[in-house]
Each structure stands twice: as structure tokens, then as C-alpha cells.
Structure 1
Amino acid sequence: MTQLQSPTETTESDEAPVGRWSLTMAWWSLFSAMFWLYISAASAAAYGPRATLIGLVATVVTYGAINRVLATYALRTGRTVETLSQLIFGRIGATCASLLLAATALYYGVFEGSVIAASLQNWFGGNIKLWYLACVLYAVPLAFGGVRHWLDRLNGFLLPFYVVGLVALVVAATVRQGYPSGWLSAPGPTSTLPGWLGSYLIFMGVWVMMMFTIDFASLGKAADARFHRRATFGPLFYACTFGVNGLIGIYIVTAFGVGGTETGVVQAVVGSLGFAGVVLIVISQTRINTANYYLASTNLEAVARGVFGVRLPHIVWVVVCGVAAYSLMLTDVLGYLLQALAWQAVLIVAWVAVVLVHVLLRRNHDRGENTQVTSLAMAWLAASVVGIGLHQQTYWPTLATVAPLVTFLVGAIGAGVVLRRGGPGVDEVQPAG
């Protein structure tokens, strides 16, 4: 990875900070993913609605607490995932972190785009490959302008339509199917883990939101930190994103008696609202995919700049991500996507554990940059190896399920030991010169 940006190299994060409401509207694009309805419905199918509700509460508290810390740090320092990773893990670590975030954001873009295409084909018919292409062709240009030039206004405009659509979805589902009595009290399947813990672990699979938080918060103003901790990146956002969306997902899937899958959610939405449901899906997925393409392209750009010294206009990298997304859509995307995301989730949880400990223990001693592989990088690697090993082994299924939690503990403890012993980490970082 190259050195951190020199004065002559500029990225979006090097420009003037983004105003509080612009950053809030851009970030809240992540609120409207159909994935949040799907993941809660899937959790309810696996562990029961009541256990999922408890898991959602624990998830909101955890996400809110961690992201308040990470957002405050990024707002104060302006560091992105790339620059923070270079500080803590060295050049190789920064490359790996940027590539990990780019791939994960791209995979989610593929998922959300596939949902739009499936809903359009379901309503209009036609070749799914052509709908895939249409979804990419209209979504890619929306990410050209970045957060400060376009995404804030686009998502601020679309947000009310999504909220109204959610209300209409619940009302229409109730009118068409009747009130699904017992939708929150239905017993879940027998599990070796407490249901709420199993549900909580499912939501640990999307801790990439912590990385998203850092890249978005780095664009804001330090003076707005208090506002963003509350309104943008704190528990309020996750109460709406996971709580509201999650409950609606469980409700409509139960009302229609369809499975807690991405197809089931689409069927329930379109079955409730008809063509308006298709419009709701397009609006919601358009909002989330602007963020996915933005994050994928900016981090892919960082990787190309750092590893190959290639510097091209940001628009080029957005187009590259669009081509990659379409290519992935043409494959058996769901056949490998969930497995790929499971591996990436382990790597991300380990990354978050080490970064969080660093921020809490050394937040005031992080000037300069690092070019060497550090002991903190070894802590990240060790936690990742443990997590992937537990996830892949088949002798003890329960251990595979709790792999994210074990990964976090190993990463946090390892980072704490390194920092408390003064290992080769941030204290040895020399100022750039």
C-alpha cells in the first residue's frame, strides 16, 4: 500500500467536510435495504420471532455503541478504512482491509440489484439477464458524484417515499391477508443455542456496517460529532434499520405464509402492493445501492492506487464495479454469495475487534503512518484464522455458529495484549515526512 495521501493527491475525503444533514441523508440510504427485511425474517424462521426480537434489541445496542466510538474517531481524524488500517496494520493490512470492504460492498450491491431484477421480471416478465443489465446501467451513474455532490440529495428525496411505502406495505398486507395473530409469539425450532443468541450472531454477519461507518464519518466535520453520534451513526439509525425493518419483514412474511428468504420477501411485498410494491423495491434498492457502489469503487480505487500505482478518475472505478457486479449476477450468485459473505464476515469482525481496541486505548497516539506489518496485524490474522476454522469445521455445529463471537473475543484480547505490552504497533509509527 502506498503512503497516505500526499498534499498533491486528493480524494473525496480530502475535500471540504460534508455538512451534517448531507452526510446524514447519504448515510441513511443504508436504512432502506430489502436485505434488512430478509435477514430478520430468516432469523425468525431459524430461531422464532420472539427470540429474534430480543436479538434485534441486543444488536441495536451493540451496533449503536460500537459505531458511536468509531464514528467519533473518524470525524475527529478524517481517517478512512484505508488510512486507519495502514496506521494499525501497515501497508499490506491497509490493502487487505480496502479490498475486503470493496468486495463486501460489491457483493451486497449484487444482492440488492438481483432483488430489483427479480421483482421486475416477476411483474413484467422477460429475460432476467436483461433486467440485471438494466439495474446496473441505471445504478452506476448515480454513484458518479460521490456523497457530497449527489448521493445526499438523491437519498434525501427518496427517503420519504420509502417510509410511506413501508406503512402502505403493512396496511396492504393486513387488508389482503388479515392480521397474522401470534406473529411474534410463534415458537421457533429447537436449537442448541439460546434463540436470542443465535439471532444476534446472524446480525454479526453484517458488521461490515462498522467499516461503512468509518468511511462515511471520515467525510464529516469534527464539530458535528455530537449530532452524528445521535442522529446519524448511533442507536437511532439501527433502531430504524434493524428494528423497524426487521419487524415489518417478520410481519409480512408471516402474513403471507412464505419462507423467510429473499424470494419470499419479494413475493410478500409485491403480493401486498402489486405494482406499487415493485416501485417500493426499486426505490429501496436504489438508495442502498448508491452507497454500495460508492464504497466499492472508492476502496477499489485505493487498492489500485496503493498496489499498482494506478490513478484514474473515480468514475472509471464506478464503471469497473458495475461491470463486475453484472458479471457476478450472471453466475449462480446465491450459490456462493452467502458462503463468501460468511468468510468475509469473520475477517471483518476480527478487523473491528482490533480497530475498536486500538481506538479505545490509543486514540490520542495515532499520528503518522506505518509501512510495516505490525503485531496488531498478527492479532487480526490470528482471530480470522480461528474464526474461519470454527466456521468451516463440521464436528461441533454449535462452535461453527458462535464463530463470529469467538473471533471478536480473540481479536480484542489479542489487540489488548499487544497494546498493553507496547508491541510494534502505533507507538512505533513515525511521522510521515
Structure 2
Amino acid sequence: MKVDPTRSADLEVIYTDDPEVVREAATEDYTQHVVPRSWRMSPLPLASAWWALASAMFWLILGALVALTVGTVDAIIGMVLSVIAYGAVNYVLSAYAARTGTTVNLFSRGLFGYAGGVLAPLLVAVISIYFATFEGSVIAVAFHAYFGGVDLKIWYLIVVAYSVPLVFGGVRVFLDKFNGLLFPFYVIGLVVAVVWTVQAHGTGGDWLTWRPDEIQVSGPGWFWAFTVYMGDWVLMMFTWDYARFGRTSRRDIRVNGWLTFGPGFYMFTILVNGLIGIFIALTIPSKGQLTELSGVLGMVQLMGLTAVILVWISQTRINTANFYVATTNLENVAARVFKLKLSRVTWAIIVGAIVYVVMLSDVFSFLLAALRYQSVLTVTWTACVLVWIAWGWFRGPSAEHTEWRPGRVTLFNWGGLSAWAAGTAVGMVMLSVGDDSSWTATWALPLSFVVSALVELLVLALSGPERTVMQRPRDPRKEVDDPWEARIRCHRCGKFYLAVEMDRDPSHGHQAICAGDAQASPTFYRHARSEARGSTGR
């Protein structure tokens, strides 16, 4: 092994997993660390965990709502375009996340800076908590409608109480097995729902060509439908936190890109679910405006206990993803901002408490409006990331060598933040100046995406990705022969982590320090910045 002669402290290096780290990973899932290749998952179990997101009742009702607004044909065109867009973007993101092994939190540091990068995991945590609240309430309402007995608030508590422990085991240890077990029952439930609807109300042969008497949206109906599905681009960020567990062989990248996270997944999630939702909505007579809850209640009235079981399966599966993503990202935000390190179990309980409090409060109308605006943030984040990845393909650095370590990136990457902010400002203004039927509402998300992408491209062309890197000596990545296989002992926690995430701690004699402890240290970053200024003379 070649050794850097400038290093100030010897490195303790091993080439096998630290048993204590492996034990901890069973619940912590390397939330604040790079996922080693020894902990990666094959496509089938990874898909079992990720496809929990395909089973939300939300996808059925969204398809129905879009069709009721612009007609079935335009809704289907919009869904097909969304499958293509989601599939292509997530193919790219899933491959890059697997090659870096990073979370949204870790990766965003390189793109937006050490402090600026905290905005991304904070955004994901907030949105995930909202979805956990909303999807959990669907289960509670279904239970309350069928079983009754106790107040709805008690059903809320029951749903949260059983949902929280489901994320204690992490993706590899539990979620893949649990969701894989339930998925066939969800598919069977969908088939039963369609057959039951046909037997009770007939086939409704004109549902495929149904069109409202008046369409109150700006622009082509199919384009409006496409932009409605852009509102859920937070799934791009969800993809990243799951895809980091994927293997990096060419075969695994392709299988995960096409099926696990890409077009195959969205063909089922958006198109199949959407078509079933449209059929049920246009075939079963309903009173009042169609919402997610009214659709669930209608199914319970038609199918009884069978519908309750289907709702429980679908919503429990997706809430494992919501609670998992909320927990990991809230954990990262707290470690970065408050230097607080708590266990995964503790954070899952905290998320559960937050979800329950939100369920009890009368803020759903506010949250629904806020959700409309958060979609701008996720769309513009995706635009910046795609340009960053494309730049790396053509100009470097590669995914495996991108810089994101706490002590190696600037406090704020004003170029990346400016790109994110520019598109976000455009989208927010456009959403605020018109109503849902205005052209600004239709074009807000596409234009905000374009603006952020163009600004990010301009910034990279002017200064390159190195603008966010702090140049410091004594880099553990360069002191080992293979930073993706060598594990180095951290002087703070005493555990061995991949060299690719390790750094030298200038506040403690330049001993090796892992990414998690570097992030949690109150002095590390200050000393790292001072050392960088000394090395560059600035």
C-alpha cells in the first residue's frame, strides 16, 4: 500500500467489514455514511422494499381526478408521458446513487455546500412526514368507517403505533421482506376490486372515451395532466435514498434502472393504478367531489372487509417508505444542525409522535396548499442534480470520486444554490399569480425546471464543480490503494468505515475521522476551513 508521506497520524486499515458497524447497520442503514459494496442488495429484494411506493391509493385517485378534469384520453396521454419522464430521470438517479453510495443529504453537500446542502434532507423529511400523516389517516378512516367503536383519534394512534416499529429494521433487514410479502396481496386486491366493480355496476364501456362537458384548464389537457404528475417529483429524492443500496455491476444498474426504479416501476405505479382508478371512479356512482378519502369510503361500502384489507395493505406498504425516508432525513438534519446523534429507533418514535400530532391538528387544508408549492422545490432540485451528473459524465469528476465530505466542501456553494433558487422563484411566483386554471399554474413546474437547469449549466461552465471543494492536504482517500475497499478506523467512534468517506481531523492531530462524526463535531468544520485557507493562502 502506498502511503502519503505528509500524513500526521498513522491510519488503521482493514479490508473487511467492522462487525460493530455491521451490527449497527441492521437498524441504522448507514444513514450518515457511505453504503459499502458488501452491504448492497440484489435487484429483487431492493425492488421488494422500493415497490411499497407503488401501492398507495393516492395513485388510483390521482388518475381519476385527472380524468375527471380533462377526460380519459388526455389523462392517459399525460400518464404515459409521465412514465417516460419519471422512468428516464430515475434511471439516471438510481445509477448515480448506487455508484456514490450516498444519501440525499451527503450528495447535496457537494452540490449546494456543507450548510446549503441541509436544505435537501430537510425538504424530504417535511414532505415525508406529510405523506405519512395523510396516508396513515386513510387507514384510520377506513378502520373507523368499517369497525367504528372508538373515536377516530384512537384509530390515528393505533395506525401510528403499529407503523413506527416497521422501520426499526431498515431496508435490507426488514422492509424488503415485509413489503415483498404484502405486494402479491395488493395486486390480488386490485384485481378483486375491478371484478367486484364490474359485477356490481357493469363494465361502463364508455369510460375510456369519457370527457367532461367543460374543461377548465389552460393549455392542452394532456400537458396539464403531465404537469400534475410532476407535482410528485419528490419521488426522485426518495429514489436516491433507496437506490444507494443497489449494486454497481452493469447488470444490476440496468435491472434497477429499468425495472426497480425506472420505467417498469412507473408503468405499474402511474399507468396501471391510474387506469384502475379511472375505471372505478367512472363506473361506481359517487356523491360529492371525489377525494382520496371519499374513494376509500366508497370501496369500503361496496366491498366491506375486503376493501378494508386492501386499504390496510396498500397504505401500510407505502407508509413504511414514508416513515423510513422521514426518519433517515430528520436524523441527518439533526446531526448536521444540532450535532445531535440519536438511534434510528429514537428518531422513528419522534417521527411517529410528529405524525400523530399533525393528524390531530386542523392543518390539512394548509398542508395541501403547501404541498403544491413544495413540488417546485423538488422539481428544481432534480434539474440541478441532472445537470451536475451530466457534467460529470463529460467533464468529471466521476460519481465514485465526487466530493461531498464535510471537511472538503465549502460552507455554501452559491452557484448551486443560485440555480436552485432561480427556478424555485420562477415556479413560486407563477403559482401565486393565477388560479388552478391559469396558464401560469400549468407551466410553473416545467419552466422552473428549465430555469434551474440552465442556471446550473451556466454556473458549471463558468467555474466547474471544483468551485465547491476546499483544498486540504492529508487526504485518506489518497493514502490507501482502494478507497472503496479499505476501511479506516475513526478516532472518535473507534469504528472502521470506507476510506472514501474518511477525512483527517485538524482539530485532533489530523487523526482519521468518519463522515458521521465529522458532521456531528462542533469544532471539526471550523478547523477544516482554517486549514483550507492556510493551504491556499486565502
Scaled by the length of structure 2, what TM-score is found?
0.76
Q: 2:97 aligns to what?
A: 74
| Counterpart-to-counterpart distance in 2, 1:405 and 1:103 | 23
Whether the aligned pair in 2 keeps the contact of 1:231 and 1:237 (CA below 8 Å) is yes
Whether the aligned pair in 1 keeps the contact of 2:98 and 2:246 (CA below 8 Å) is yes
| Counterpart-to-counterpart distance in 2, 1:283 and 1:238 | 19
Q: 2:342 aligns to what?
A: 312
Q: CA deviation at 1:176?
A: 0.8
Q: 1:292 aligns to what?
A: 322
Q: 1:107 aligns to what?
A: 130
Letter of the 2:222 counterpart:
W
Structure 2 CA distance for partners of 1:91 and 1:348, relative to 1, 3 Å: same
| Counterpart-to-counterpart distance in 1, 2:102 and 2:465 | 21
| Counterpart-to-counterpart distance in 2, 1:173 and 1:271 | 12
Letter of the 2:380 counterpart:
A
Q: Decide which of 352, 357, 360 is 1:330's aligned counterpart.
A: 360
Whether the aligned pair in 2 keeps the contact of 1:78 and 1:219 (CA below 8 Å) is yes
Aligned residues: 427
Q: CA deviation at 1:426?
A: 5.4
Whether the aligned pair in 2 keeps the contact of 1:151 and 1:290 (CA below 8 Å) is yes
The answer to whether 1:143 aligns with 2:167 is yes
Q: Decide which of 48, 53, 77 is 1:54's aligned counterpart.
A: 77
Letter of the 1:394 counterpart:
G
Q: 2:303 aligns to what?
A: 273
| Counterpart-to-counterpart distance in 2, 1:32 and 1:62 | 20
Structure 2 CA distance for partners of 1:315 and 1:360, relative to 1, 3 Å: same
Letter of the 2:47 counterpart:
T
Letter of the 2:257 counterpart:
R
Letter of the 1:35 counterpart:
F
Whether the aligned pair in 1 keeps the contact of 2:94 and 2:257 (CA below 8 Å) is yes
Letter of the 1:378 counterpart:
S
Q: 2:498 aligns to what?
A: none
| Counterpart-to-counterpart distance in 2, 1:69 and 1:84 | 15
Letter of the 1:53 counterpart:
I
- The secondary structure found in structure 1 opposite 2:208 is coil
- The secondary structure found in structure 2 opposite 1:183 is helix
Q: How does 1:82-161 map to 2 (within 5 A)?
A: 82-125=105-148, 126-161=150-185
Most deviating of 22-31 and 358-367: 358-367
Whether the aligned pair in 2 keeps the contact of 1:376 and 1:425 (CA below 8 Å) is no
Structure 2 CA distance for partners of 1:251 and 1:429, relative to 1, 3 Å: farther
- The secondary structure found in structure 2 opposite 1:182 is helix
Q: CA deviation at 1:122?
A: 1.0
Q: CA deviation at 1:142?
A: 0.4
The answer to whether 1:419 aligns with 2:442 is no
The answer to whether 1:387 aligns with 2:427 is yes
| Counterpart-to-counterpart distance in 2, 1:322 and 1:27 | 21
Q: 1:235 aligns to what?
A: 263
Q: 1:372 aligns to what?
A: 411
| Counterpart-to-counterpart distance in 1, 2:324 and 2:227 | 27
Q: 1:197 aligns to what?
A: 223
| Counterpart-to-counterpart distance in 2, 1:249 and 1:92 | 42
| Counterpart-to-counterpart distance in 1, 2:410 and 2:359 | 37
Q: 1:404 aligns to what?
A: 445
Letter of the 2:359 counterpart:
M
Letter of the 1:81 counterpart:
V
- The secondary structure found in structure 2 opposite 1:371 is coil
Structure 2 CA distance for partners of 1:98 and 1:427, relative to 1, 3 Å: closer
Q: 2:248 aligns to what?
A: 222
| Counterpart-to-counterpart distance in 2, 1:359 and 1:317 | 31
Whether the aligned pair in 2 keeps the contact of 1:64 and 1:238 (CA below 8 Å) is yes
| Counterpart-to-counterpart distance in 2, 1:149 and 1:272 | 37
Q: Quote the RMSD (CA, aligned, Å).
A: 1.9
Q: Percent identity?
A: 41
Whether the aligned pair in 2 keeps the contact of 1:253 and 1:264 (CA below 8 Å) is no
Q: CA deviation at 1:334?
A: 2.8
Structure 2 CA distance for partners of 1:278 and 1:38, relative to 1, 3 Å: same
| Counterpart-to-counterpart distance in 2, 1:331 and 1:253 | 30
Q: CA deviation at 1:429?
A: 5.3
Whether the aligned pair in 2 keeps the contact of 1:41 and 1:261 (CA below 8 Å) is no
Letter of the 1:372 counterpart:
L
Q: 1:4 aligns to what?
A: none
Letter of the 1:129 counterpart:
K
Q: 1:341 aligns to what?
A: 371
For structure 2, list consecutive stretches of 5 or more residues without a partner in the other structure: 1-17, 476-502, 505-538
For structure 1, list consecutive stretches of 5 or more residues without a partner in the other structure: 1-6
| Counterpart-to-counterpart distance in 1, 2:114 and 2:276 | 43
Q: CA deviation at 1:255?
A: 1.1
Whether the aligned pair in 2 keeps the contact of 1:38 and 1:265 (CA below 8 Å) is yes
Whether the aligned pair in 2 keeps the contact of 1:29 and 1:288 (CA below 8 Å) is yes
Q: CA deviation at 1:333?
A: 4.2
Structure 2 CA distance for partners of 1:250 and 1:333, relative to 1, 3 Å: farther
Q: CA deviation at 1:276?
A: 0.5
Letter of the 1:151 counterpart:
L
Q: CA deviation at 1:212?
A: 0.7
Q: CA deviation at 1:406?
A: 1.1
Cα deviation, 1:260-282, whole Å, max 9, x if unaligned, reads 31123213322332110000000
| Counterpart-to-counterpart distance in 2, 1:368 and 1:352 | 19
Q: Decide which of 351, 355, 368 is 1:321's aligned counterpart.
A: 351
Cα deviation, 1:324-355, whole Å, max 9, x if unaligned, reads 10111112243122112112111111100001
- The secondary structure found in structure 2 opposite 1:91 is coil
Letter of the 1:186 counterpart:
W
| Counterpart-to-counterpart distance in 2, 1:51 and 1:334 | 29
Scaled by the length of structure 1, what TM-score is found?
0.94
- The secondary structure found in structure 2 opposite 1:332 is coil
Cα deviation, 1:288-329, whole Å, max 9, x if unaligned, reads 000100000000000000111100111111111100101111
Letter of the 1:222 counterpart:
T
- The secondary structure found in structure 2 opposite 1:406 is helix
| Counterpart-to-counterpart distance in 2, 1:209 and 1:138 | 24
Q: 2:390 aligns to what?
A: 360
Letter of the 1:148 counterpart:
R
Whether the aligned pair in 2 keeps the contact of 1:88 and 1:425 (CA below 8 Å) is no
Letter of the 2:225 counterpart:
S
Q: Which runs of 4+ in 1 moved over 6 A?
A: 7-10
- The secondary structure found in structure 2 opposite 1:115 is helix
Whether the aligned pair in 2 keeps the contact of 1:87 and 1:429 (CA below 8 Å) is no
| Counterpart-to-counterpart distance in 2, 1:322 and 1:161 | 26
Q: 1:184 aligns to what?
A: 208
